[in-house]
Amino acid sequence: MSHNTFGHLFRVTTWGESHGPALGCIVDGCPPGITITEAELQHWLDKRKPGQSRFVTQRREADAVRILSGVMPQENSDVLITTGTPVSMMIENTDQRSKDYSDIARSYRPGHADYSYDSKYGIRDYRGGGRSSARETAARVAAGGLARKVMPEVTVRGALVQIGKIAINRDNWDWDIIGDNPFFCPDPDTVPRWESHLDDVRKAGSSVGAVIEVVADGVAAGLGAPIYAKLDQDIASYLMSINAVKGVEIGNGFEAARITGEDNADEMRIGADGEPVFLSNNAGGIAGGISTGQQIVARFAVKPTSSILTERRSIDADGNEIDVRTKGRHDPCVGIRAVPIGEAMLACALADHYLRHRGQTGRI
């Protein structure tokens, strides 16, 4: 199976399956001289790891990341310094329960990758979804941690802005409370509403979708290119590659189709410091495929988890019509843990373009 690599200069290859002994990634192209500790990477992995609240899968994984290559330890400290050679990172799988999946070995969960995967490869590691499992995204989060270190002046953050039909009130947006609730929710008033909604969903054995917003501050003007390496094109592709993502918006996204040119124009003035100032950011910080220096804003929609306890009609690998009811430990709303994954993918896309911009123009 090919197509496990993304990026041009910050080039990430991930490997591993849900129920294999371990998974990980190799980042080729990471510049030399970047200092990092495993604890710094672990911070991001801990945000994604399962079992942290009743609203996510109860699989218990430490998701402890180890850096195997591409770094040299600094004397008498935990600090590692990148050498410019491939950085390999590994996360062991420790809490697999392959037996939970024996029922779906030959049956296809509607909405999951089972049927399409079998159609393509003719062989499928059904245990935990194999390579289609979002466990693979732990490796991306590790790569994202390194990507952040490539561009220290850039801050990438994410928040859950909608679960099912319940959206946050954007007027209440407070980044400081994101880490204080189980949803990465920026609106304190929405937290109890999501809690009670998700409890109902979970008790019913059902699932629900969500919308995540990721933003980057401190991105200089100039990242991207006018056509085949548009920054928005690559961000959309990176976010779309996350499991269960069915839609991506940059800036005001689909709203741009509903408003006039006057309202959509991001008007400009010269600020007191003599630098350009934008009066709005409908474009999400990208115009003509190139960053404008404004905040980069993207949103993505994830579908409801397809592994649900409610019976759904399907077929099996022997051509029988069957009803499928999926047991096991599943996220009732995969959008929650998709927040740190979205942040990581945005960081990787930006780091790649940051290095490409530096390579082509010599600036930054």
Ligand X SMILES: Cc1cc2nc3c(=O)[nH]c(=O)nc-3n(C[C@H](O)[C@H](O)[C@H](O)COP(=O)(O)O)c2cc1C
Segment near ligand X (CB under 6 A), from 4-12, 68-76, 128-136, 249-257?
128-136
Segment near ligand X (CB under 6 A), from 255-263, 278-286, 298-306, 343-351?
298-306
Distance CA 148, CA 164 (A): 31
The token pair that represents 25 in the structure block: 């990634």
Smallest distance from the beta carbon of 112 to ligand X, in angstroms? 5
β-bridge pairing 11-16 and 5-6:
antiparallel
Near ligand X in 317-356, by CB under 6 A: 330-331, 334, 337-338, 341
Among 219, 244, 283, 287, binds ligand X (CB under 6 A): 244
Residue 306 interacts with ligand X (CB under 6 A)? yes
The token pair that represents 240 in the structure block: 């779309």
Near ligand X in 181-220, by CB under 6 A: none
Distance CA 225, CA 286 (A): 10
Residue closer to ligand X by CB (options 68, 240) is 240
Residue closer to ligand X by CB (options 50, 284) is 50
Closest to 9 measured CA to CA, from 222, 156, 223, 220 = 223
296 phi-psi bin (left φ>0, alpha ψ -120 to 50, beta other) = beta
Strand, helix or coil for residue 30: coil
Residue closer to ligand X by CB (options 161, 286) is 161
Residue closer to ligand X by CB (options 133, 314) is 133
Contacts of 75 (CB under 8 A, 6+ apart): none
Smallest distance from the beta carbon of 77 to ligand X, in angstroms? 33
Residue 93 interacts with ligand X (CB under 6 A)? no
The token pair that represents 121 in the structure block: 């490869």
Residue 140 interacts with ligand X (CB under 6 A)? no
Neighbours of 263 (CB within 10 A): 12
Distance CA 140, CA 91 (A): 11
The number of residues that bind ligand X (CB under 6 A) is 20
Near ligand X in 11-40, by CB under 6 A: none
- Would you give the DSSP letter of residue 237? H
Residue closer to ligand X by CB (options 81, 309) is 309
Binding interface with ligand X (CB under 6 A): 57, 112-113, 129, 132-134, 242-244, 303, 305-307, 330-331, 334, 337-338, 341
